[in-house]
Amino acid sequence: MRLYNTMSKVKEEFVPIEPGKVSMYVCGPTVYNYIHIGNARPMIVFDTARRYFEFRGYEVRYVSNFTDVDDKIIREANEEGCSASEIAERYIAECKKDMAAMNVRPATVHPRATQEIGGMIEMIRSLIDQGYAYEKNGTVYFSTRKDPDYGKLSHKNLDDLRGGSRSLLVSGEDEKEDPLDFVLWKPKKEGEPYWDSPWGQGRPGWHIECSVMARRYLGPTIDIHAGGEDLVFPHHENEIAQSECCNHAPFAHYWLHNAFLNIDNRKMSKSLGNFFTVREIGEKYDLQVLRLFMLSAHYRSPLNFSAELMESAKTSLERIRNAVDNLNYLLSAVASDEMTEAEKNKMEQINGFEQKFIEAMDDDLNTADALAAIFDLVRFANAEANTESSRAFIGAVKAEILKLGDVLGLIFEKKEDSLDAEVEKMIEERQEARKAKDYAKADAIRQKLLDMGIELKDTREGVKWNRI
């Protein structure tokens, strides 16, 4: 399997640190509002990468953070007259609902910055002790000149950057020794959340959180670090500087970055105001349409959002679902069970579609070509499966379509009935846990349901639930 590594600028053969295992860290959203579909792009493409690794037999440990302390969160809290943690809590819950609705699986761990402050203070202290960081009036900076490798990910010309230094200095940071130095710890301002530290009360900079959480949950060296391409510089460059200077070990072996989701050829972003939230799109479309739309392009190609492309993704999804519906009808209608010799020979073709799918995904996760293999399979199903076919043959064709769809996180068959039964069972378990006063278990079940996209309401008539 080959992956394009931003660090080396070429596709490299993937060799895991530990055979059969993959450790992945994906930078998550800053939670001050509903996520938009630009934010959804890394979620969908790296969830797909994770699913594909699992399909190839790897055990994946997938960590993705929530940035829950940040200027934007504080600003939103001040506007609404509530605390920053209330804002963060609310939008983490909303983000998890959106993820479930897009069939993005919850990470193995979803750490939050505010719960990792101790680890951040410890790493900052270690960087100061080792001479890589310095403190000025309650602010701690990383000294980029002390790191001979600084700039190796983004391949930027540091002299040029330093030459144009004024534009890099944010007001209040004039005390920096070098324009490229960045903040590890900043002193509190009135009305802001803060924590005690050896450098006074304050809060951590943004970059340090990912270095600390990646090390805590995955170790000093990880297989894959990923995020949107706007994170290459400075965020990921700074993460590498902090982690490698502190830990004296390579931080990540492969750096994966998705290109932007654009609208009218401009990056979709909150600050430009040219965004659609996942929630808004979910009101108009099944979010499986959004997922298929995202995967119809290679993750490193810019993707322009348009109603036309969404309609075309919708038609494509319907085409596959109709084929599966037809196979279900045939399964209930056909007469013979056993596969004929001719059908057994045709199974080779099915194998061929799977090989095409694998070749595409092995080539730097080419989901566009992988989808083409699924469409070939669907065409084959429409042409070859009919009332004369055996149940075994139709079952095998259907299973193959569903299996490849699942690797991409696409659901081609509605499983409402079986899901309903599972949900009812979990609700019963929760009620029993509550009766036994095991509230931790009851809460865990409620959260698990939320992750599945099911919301519970405790009413006088009993527990009600609905899909979100």
Chain contacts with ligand AMP (rule: CB under 6 A): 27, 29-30, 38-39, 41-42, 227-228, 230-231, 258, 260-261, 267-269
Considering the complex, what minimum distance in angstroms separates the CB of residue 52 from ligand AMP?
Answer: 19
Q: Which does 228 bind (CB under 5 to 8 A by kind): ligand AMP, Zn ion, none?
A: ligand AMP
Find the part of the chain contacting Zn ion (CB under 5 A) among 139-147, 175-183, 209-217, 405-413: 209-217
Three-class DSSP category at 249: coil
Q: Which amino acid is at 280?
A: E
d(CA 43, CA 104): 7
Tell whether residue 210 is a contact of Zn ion (CB under 5 A).
Answer: yes
Amino acid at residue number 261? L
Residues sharing a CB contact under 8 Å with residue 256, sequence separation 6 or more, in sequence order? 3, 4, 5, 6, 46, 49, 224, 225, 226, 299
- Which window, 43-51, 208-216, 263-271, 282-290, contacts Zn ion (CB under 5 A)? 208-216
Q: How far is the CB of 257 from ligand AMP (least distance, A)?
A: 8
- For residues 117-151, one letter each, b for 16 or more C-beta atoms within 10 angstroms of the residue's C-beta and e for the rest, the string is bebbbebbbebbeeebbbeeeebbbbbbebbeebb
At closest approach, how far in Å is the CB of 32 from Zn ion?
Answer: 16
- Are 250 and 222 contacting, i.e. CB atoms less than 8 angstroms apart? no
Torsion angles phi and psi, residue 353, rounded to 5: -65, -40
Minimum gap (Å) between residue 71 Cβ and ligand AMP: 12
Which residue, 144 or 258, is less far from ligand AMP as judged by CB?
A: 258
Shortest CB 268 distance to ligand AMP, Å = 4
Token pair in block for residue 439 = 């509230």
Cβ 228 to ligand AMP shortest distance, Å: 2
**Residue 245 is which amino acid?**
C
**CB 381 to ligand AMP: min, Å:** 34
Burial class (CB in 10 A: 0-12, 13-18, 19+), 246: buried
Which CB sits closer to Zn ion, 27 or 408? Answer: 27
Q: Which residue is nearest to ligand AMP (CB)?
A: 228
Q: Between 227 and 405, whose beta carbon lies closer to ligand AMP?
A: 227
Nearer to ligand AMP, 85 or 262 (CB): 262
Q: Which is nearer to ligand AMP, 41 or 430 (CB)?
A: 41
User: Residue 49 contacts by C-beta under 8 Å, 6 or more apart in sequence?
Assistant: 24, 224, 226, 256, 365
The reply to whether 27 sits near Zn ion by the rule CB under 5 A is yes
CB under 5 to 8 A by kind: which of ligand AMP, Zn ion, none does 232 bind?
Answer: none
Closest to Zn ion by CB, 27 vs 281, is 27
Binding site partner of 261, from Zn ion, ligand AMP, none, Cβ cut-off 5-8 A by kind: ligand AMP
CA pair distance 233, 343, nearest whole angstrom: 54
Closest CA to 407 of 19, 55, 41: 55
CA angle (388 as vertex; 383, 390 as ends), nearest 5? 95
Q: How near is the Cβ of 326 to Zn ion at its closest, in Å?
A: 45
Beta pairing, strands 261-263 & 266-267: antiparallel
- Is 305 within 8 Å of 276 (Cβ atoms)? yes
Question: With respect to Zn ion, which residue has the nearer C-beta, 36 or 257?
Answer: 257
- φ/ψ of 397, rounded to 5, equals -65, -45
Q: How far is the CB of 31 from ligand AMP (least distance, A)?
A: 8
Q: Verify binding: residue 63, Zn ion, rule CB under 5 A.
A: no
Residue 151, both tokens:
């700039």
Choose among Zn ion, ligand AMP, none what residue 210 binds, the Cβ cut-off being 5 to 8 Å by kind. Answer: Zn ion
**Does 278 participate in binding Zn ion (rule CB under 5 A)?**
no
Size of interface with Zn ion, in residues (CB under 5 A): 2
**CB of 43 or CB of 358, closer to ligand AMP:** 43
* Nearer residue to ligand AMP within complex by CB, 103 or 143: 103
d(CA 220, CA 53): 21
Q: Which range, of 23-31, 127-135, 164-172, 398-406, touches Zn ion by CB under 5 A?
A: 23-31
Query: For binding to Zn ion (CB under 5 A), which residues are involved?
Result: 27, 210
